[in-house]
Amino acid sequence: MQKVIRIGTRDSELALWQANKVQRMLNELEYKTEIVPIKSTGDIVLNKPIYQLGITGVFTRNLDIALLNNEIDIAVHSMKDVPTVLPEGIIQAAVLKRANYSDILVLKDTEEFFALKEATIATGSLRRKAMWLNRFPTHTVVELRGNVNTRLQKLDDNDWNGAVFAAAGLERIGKRPAGAVNLSWMISAPAQGAIMVASLAEDDFIKDACEQLNHHETEVCVSIEREFLHRLEGGCTAPIGAIAYVDEKTQEINFKGVLLSKDGKKKIEVAKNASLDKHRYLAQDCADYIINRGGKQLILDDIDIEEETSANVYSTKSLSVSQAKLFHNNIASDSSDFIKIRSNRIAPKVVKDEIENVIITSKNGVEALLDNFTKDELNFKNIFCVGRRTKKLIQQKLGPVNHTEKNAEKLADYLSKEMKGDQVTYFCSDLHLETLPKVLSENKIIVNEVEAYKTMYSPMKIDNKVDGVLFYSPSTIESYLQKNSADKVAFCIGESTAKEAKKHFKKVEVAQLPTVESVIELVNSHYVQ
């Protein structure tokens, strides 16, 4: 008997429309389905602006809980509502082809008010408010919450000149007024107009079903927008806009991004493009452009910062504002990148023939391979890797993983006992621990090292007042020590990093999971009782 796929959704008209669309697509593929409506916190609490609720994923959390509790099999979201970091165990299973990503103004009467000094516009979006005030600084923007129908009714009931909506939302349920004005100057929210399907990472049946719904071009574009958002802030508490689209003639990805102050008085914009197969650094470069022109300070100026601190910590990897906000209020944090990664050119002859055994120990290795070759050019029979996230990326981009371990030492032990064949190709950095090749060589396994990427030190002197330092690789420790002392607490992302830290630091602590968020949780538990 075939499994019935339970489709979780909010119970608003728009959310149900989106869920029904996913249901129709799955039914056409001959899957059995049922829809399970669930109330979200964002639907229940209507008396506060979204950014004041203090909840990550205000419209998605209840669906996340339902997924993890096995009450539903997939969750259907408006992708712009989804946090850039998904809960542990939940993955992005599919992104549907994008609809209209524009913002529109629904008018109460006519457009004549544009020329007036005084006018009132309604929106529940911090981004829309800031962009409107940047263009019309004398206007008043009022709070508007609720589902689409509720907001349309509030516009009718109040003496406002208009309200701003996402075009896709109104168009999907057939309620876009004939006189609505396209706001072409307003850069939309990251992933606006896209529908995302989430599932459990461990459910292969559901993942296979959802994979057939995925629209690759949309997935690429919204991923760039969301990475840009993540690098700047990561949530809905800063006015950030981003849009990426593929130019069909040039096959280039065109990107526009913007960051504003909450009052709209300050604005930093960026526009760049990249070929469809060379877009890896597009989001990063655009975010860096914003940050280097005062973007980070602009965001921080809008955040209430506690004066009293119990500890000062420094991250050797740049944190988004959303990640920085995970620290306890009494912990002051700062961050910068102590290492930089750049892909090397890999000779085509390296992958000309099938490679029986391949080792990849980081996401950087995967990305370096894809910078040089297409998936079809990489003929790997057996892939072995280090880390859950590396495994996930390999499975998404390259193919099945034969075996994974938490660290290089454990992987070396496994391969020494279980690997078939006497040779392995190791795609590595110019800077890497010798543990893995040493152990394999001692066990008569030939290791063909291919330098896939460079790890470049980028050290800086940190304040002596810093109590603890967050490290994410042995290389970040080496870079840090070029300009700093080891008289701090070292908070490490994993055992390999901790092993290097123990050579220099008296106090070393290791996170439970190999994630940035887990390291921050470790810091909080150390300093705050």
Q: Which residues are the active-site residues?
A: 81
The order of strands in the sheet holding 240-247 is 240-247, 252-260, 267-275
Place of tokens 């065109």: 254
DSSP state of 178: T
Which residue, among 95, 38, 37, 33, has the nearest Cα to 61 in the 3D structure?
38
Q: Which run of H or of E encompasses 507? A: strand 507-510
Residue 81 is encoded by which pair of tokens? 């509502």
Distance between first and last Cα of the chain: 52
Residue 343 is encoded by which pair of tokens? 């892909």
Give the C-alpha separation, 368 to 344, whole Å: 7
Give the C-alpha separation, 438 to 289, whole Å: 42
3 state SS of 392? helix
Query: What single letter denotes the amino acid at residue 57?
Result: G
Place of tokens 């005062």: 294
3 state SS of 220? helix
- Tell me whether strands 468-471 and 120-123 are parallel, antiparallel or unpaired: unpaired
Contact 130, 123 (CB under 8 A): no
3 state SS of 356? strand
Contact 469, 480 (CB under 8 A): yes
DSSP state of 52: G
Q: What distance separates the 2 farthest-apart alpha carbons in the chain?
A: 81
Residue 124 is encoded by which pair of tokens? 């529940």
Contact 76, 15 (CB under 8 A): yes
Contact 63, 75 (CB under 8 A): yes
CA dihedral over 242, 112, 114, 49, signed as positive or negative:
negative
- Tell me whether strands 4-9 and 32-37 are parallel, antiparallel or unpaired: parallel
Q: How many CA atoms lie within 13 A of 423 on its CB side?
A: 7
